[in-house]
Amino acid sequence: MPNTLIKIDLNTPPEHQEVIHNRWHPDLPMVAWVKPGDEFRVECVDWTGGQISNDDSANDVRDVDLTKVHYLSGPIGVEGAEPGDLLVVDILDIGTLPGSEWGFTGIFDNKNGGGFLTDHYPDARKACWDFHGIYTSSRHIPGVEFAGIMHPGLIGCLPSKSLLDTWNKRETELFNTAPERNPPLCALPYADTAHMGKMTGAAKAQAALEAARTVPPREHGGNCDIKNLTRGSKVYFPVYVSGGGLSMGDIHFSQGDGEITFCGAIEMAGWLDLRVNIIKGGVAKYGIVNPIFQPSPMEPRYLRHLIFEGISVDEKGKQYYLDPHVAYRRACLNAIEYMKKFGYTGEQAYAILGTAPVEGRISGIVDIPNACATLYLPTEIFNFDILPNANGPIPGVTGTVDLARTT
Ligand code: ZN
């Protein structure tokens, strides 16, 4: 087992741990240094820093303080890494922490986070998942069990000052086009709950005013939520500051493409084993803007799927021009309506699409006026037959089990 470079404590609030931060800023001090070729372990809290409990109430999802997320471990300095280099990160392995072999999925309240289908499912709900080795199942969603595809939802290097300024400028311009919108168009810097790792005093106060929130994916990677960035994959990150400053968190046990319920994955605390290397001048050599990666040779193997199509015509019949966002939403809604015929509530079906190893694709993007998005639902995850046949659907799920509600 590699040496544990960053150790966290699940029983201490994350804002009291110097190896954790929840904003991006070039001045964040490195919490540890490694050399090219080193292998090491990094422990991470879950993305909310322990705000969600393993129980049967969704009050914690409804009331979660989203200005605090995401809590990341790092930044880690790599000796010799300079701006313009590529940091090569092998994700050697990922696992759970002792005593924390569970995860959660939230449908977020329309007024606090929302989600991809928030107009249809506006209320907070929660599913808790138990881990059985590589498999997971939920007491809130009967009839499904599947193998995990563990990955960090969020990983990337610190931005330079000029890159940070670029982010803040373009995101402020977008926000200002509809400042009253709910959910907001983007999450701008918010100093009150900024946790800047080892920074203290006036330097921290100043940096917190402009430090970027961790919500979106950006040029450095960040919150990409790519389920295939799993153990065994190799990622090439652009470096913007001396040492790189690699940080990570938001570990998922599993996730469907799109992470559609907002925290649609199965969220967990855990650890990553990593190995780092450097390609000098790699950004220019390979024309890199955003990270690139090689997937793992090991992933869950689900061969049989039922595939749902969606086109860029919204639920009210309005025509959109080649809009993959609308098309994927319709594919998801079509899948949910189908799954409801087998006994699931809409919320259960929504949560399955967010968590199971569902493939989402842009299948057609040129056939005016309709984009075509497809959603690949693996049929082997169900313990009953979910395929269509001449006799009509036979519900595989009966009873009153449902996602946890608010009280
Ligand atoms: Zn997540």
pLDDT tens digits, 295-310: 999 999 999 999 999 9
CA 80 to centroid of ligand 1, rounded, Å? 31
Structure confidence at residue 301 (pLDDT): 94
pLDDT(122) > 80: yes
User: What tokens appear for 107 in the block?
Assistant: 């449908």
Examine residue 363 and state whether it is found in any structural domain, yes or no: yes
In the chain, pLDDT over 70 holds for what percent of residues? 100
CA 7 / ligand 1 centre spacing (Å):
20
The pLDDT assigned to 95 comes to 97
What is the mean predicted confidence (pLDDT) over 10-14? 97
Ligand 1 centroid distance, CA of 263 (Å): 5
Q: Let me know whether 168 and 226 are in one domain.
A: yes
| Ligand 1 centroid distance, CA of 103 (Å) | 11
Rounded to the nearest angstrom, the distance between the alpha carbon of 100 and the centre of ligand 1 is: 16
Predicted TM-score of the model (pTM) = 0.96
Residue 392 scores a pLDDT above 90 = yes
Supply 124's token pair.
């907070």
Q: How far is CA 199 from the centre of its chain?
A: 26
Question: What does the pLDDT read at residue 342?
Answer: 97
Beta-carbon contacts of 297 under 8 Å, excluding residues fewer than 6 positions away, are 232
Please indicate, yes or no, whether residues 224 and 333 belong to a single structural domain of this protein.
no
Predicted confidence at residue 115, as pLDDT, reads 87
Structural domain for 366, as ranges: 305-381
Distance 370 CA to ligand 1 centre (A): 31
Taking all residues of the chain, what is their mean pLDDT, rounded to a whole number? 97
Among 232, 221, 216, 218, smallest CA distance to 292 is for: 221
pLDDT at 263: 75
Q: Which residues are found with C-beta within 5 Å of the ion, ligand 1?
A: 47, 153, 250, 265
pLDDT (tens digit per residue) in 185-225? 999 999 999 999 999 999 999 999 999 999 999 999 999 99
Shared domain check, 228 and 343: no
Q: Residue holding tokens 């939230």? A: 106
Q: Are residues 319 and 196 in the same domain?
A: no
**Whether 251 and 341 share a structural domain:** no
Distance (angstroms) between ligand 1 centre and the Cα of 294 equals: 21
Residues 335-372: pLDDT tens digits? 999 999 999 999 999 999 999 999 999 999 999 999 99
Q: Rounded to an integer, what distance in angstroms lies between the CA atom of residue 219 and that of residue 206?
A: 24
Look at residue 371 and tell me if it is in a domain.
yes
Q: Are residues 243 and 369 in the same domain?
A: no
Q: Could you tell me if residue 392 is inside a domain?
A: no
Q: What is the band of 183 on the pLDDT scale with cuts at 50, 70, 90?
A: confident
Which of 294, 325, 342 is the C-terminal boundary of a domain?
294
Whether residues 366 and 287 share a domain: the answer is no
Contact status, residue 223 vs residue 70, Cβ threshold 8 Å: yes
The string of pLDDT tens digits covering residues 128-156 is 999 999 999 999 999 999 999 999 999 99
- Do 72 and 157 fall into the same domain? yes
Same domain, 8 and 92: yes
Distance 251 CA to ligand 1 centre (A): 6
Cα(357) to centroid of ligand 1, in Å? 14
Would you put residue 214 in left (φ > 0), alpha (ψ -120 to 50) or beta? alpha
Among the listed residues 201, 356, 184, 162, the one whose alpha carbon sits nearest the alpha carbon of residue 265: 356
**Domain end marker among 294, 320, 353:** 294
Confidence band of 240 (pLDDT split at 50, 70, 90): very high
Domain-ending residue, one of 228, 259, 294: 294
Mean pLDDT of 115-137: 95
C-alpha of residue 146 to centroid of ligand 1, in Å: 18
What confidence category does residue 262 fall into, taking pLDDT thresholds of 50, 70 and 90? Answer: confident
Does a structural domain hold residue 279?
yes
Q: What is the CATH number of the domain that holds 238?
A: 2.60.120.580
CA of 281 to the centre of ligand 1 (A): 32
Residue 264 has pLDDT above 80, yes or no: no
In a domain, 268, yes or no: yes
Mean pLDDT of the 60-69 span? 96
Instruction: For residues 289 and 309, state if they share a domain.
Output: no
Q: How far is the CA of 167 from the centre of ligand 1 (A)?
A: 22
What's the pLDDT at 344? 98
Asked if 188 and 316 sit in the same domain, the reply is no
142 and 26 in one domain? yes
Identify whether 87 is part of a domain.
yes
| Residue 132 domain-assigned (yes or no) | yes
pLDDT of residue 114: 86
388 C-alpha to ligand 1 centroid (Å): 33
Torsion angle of the four alpha carbons 270, 403, 259, 74, in this order, in degrees rounded to the nearest 10: -30
For ligand 1, the distance from its centroid to the CA atom of residue 368, given in whole angstroms, is: 34
Number of domains present in the structure of the chain? 2
Classify residue 104: in a domain, yes or no.
yes
